[in-house]
Structure 1
Amino acid sequence: MTVNPLVPLIARGEADRTTTLAALALEQSRVIPADRRAFLHLAQRATPAAPESAAFFTLLAEGEALAAERLGAFAAACGVAEGQSAAYEPLPGCQAYPAYVAWLALNASPAEAVLALTANFSTWGGYCATIAQGLRHHYAFTDEACAFFDFFAEPSAELEQRAAAAVQAGRDAGHLDEKRARGYARLLQSYEEMFWETLREPTHP
């Protein structure tokens, strides 16, 4: 994965609050519900033939719902006004990632989707931890305003266990083409890089 172009700016307090950070909040307001629906669809597809994958995606969907509850405080701290989210025009470069997650929900085997998604978990968690620290130190954001990033920064042993069980069950059942899953993971990582690169450009929500 290439060097993230935006997270270091937030870590140094150099990202503009009302443009770049507000755009991050507004883009996430579209990403989170889209990913949640994709995970619920994957959980449905995996039931009953792949219960381990179903359990993994159900937990992911529950996590997205919890994250959505925390996003509003971050958006408010960035100066996003009430009603601004509904009027916001999302950026194609930011929405490529959830679009591909939706593609995986329709086309990948559940076990392959598990492997593809988990390949980037630690990187995403690290980004969130760095962002939360930068928001506190340079923007004086409260714990409530940072809670969205704190949530994703915290490792989940349960999620890791369910992912491992789903991948192993997929292997055992012959439903996991690891080369294909690695290809899915590579594309997901590229789309995430596109997300951050797009936000790095001057944006005015």
Structure 2
Amino acid sequence: MNRFVISGFKRFNDHQFSTIAGTVTLAMTNNIYFTDPVPAITVVQTALDDYRLKLELASRKGSPYDTEEKNASRVVLEELLKQVAFYVNITAKGQVNLLLSSGLPLNELPSSLKEPGTPVNIRLSDGRLSGQIKLDFKAVKDAWEYEYQVSHELDENKAPIWADPVSTTTSRGNIIVPVIPGLVYRVRVRARNGRGLGDWSEPVQIIAR
């Protein structure tokens, strides 16, 4: 049974979340399995210190302003821990001892969990800048990350020559760079969860601008 660390923390109350974040910063500091975390753990520690300070103020004073400050600080820290979780999952590749060493909670797999379905409603559009393509698709139920591949060449049989897969945790706003204006780019997507990888989607294409 494949395992992974969780990347969502909204179900935890403030003090539980503070404890988890503290455990992660201690566990990830100088961790021999995760030598180049993204973001750096010093960045997470700074955000944690800010959150704990504002949590203390909100708990003591209880004013609406202090509560909003604490909530805003938590959002920042949650996003950083989400990025750390993504890095840990990619690096550990399901090895439980590595996952546990990160300090992040592991997700229990429900017995009914199946391999993810195939992504649909894949859309390619121009990015905000020349040399960019934006990729969006419908989120797949029970998927915790996705892979996409890009091609701008065909082989002798007119089949796409795919580049190495790129991992992402979001189904919206993925920016593909760099691309060469005027070339036709093809993209396909598949989903991943604790049961494994789903099937590749049908390729979609766009002329880069």
* TM-score (normalised: structure 2): 0.28
More strand by share: 2
- Which of the pair is proportionally richer in helix? 1
Q: Greater relative contact order: 1 or 2 (C-alpha under 8 angstroms, separation 6 or more)?
A: 1
Structure showing greater radius of gyration is 2
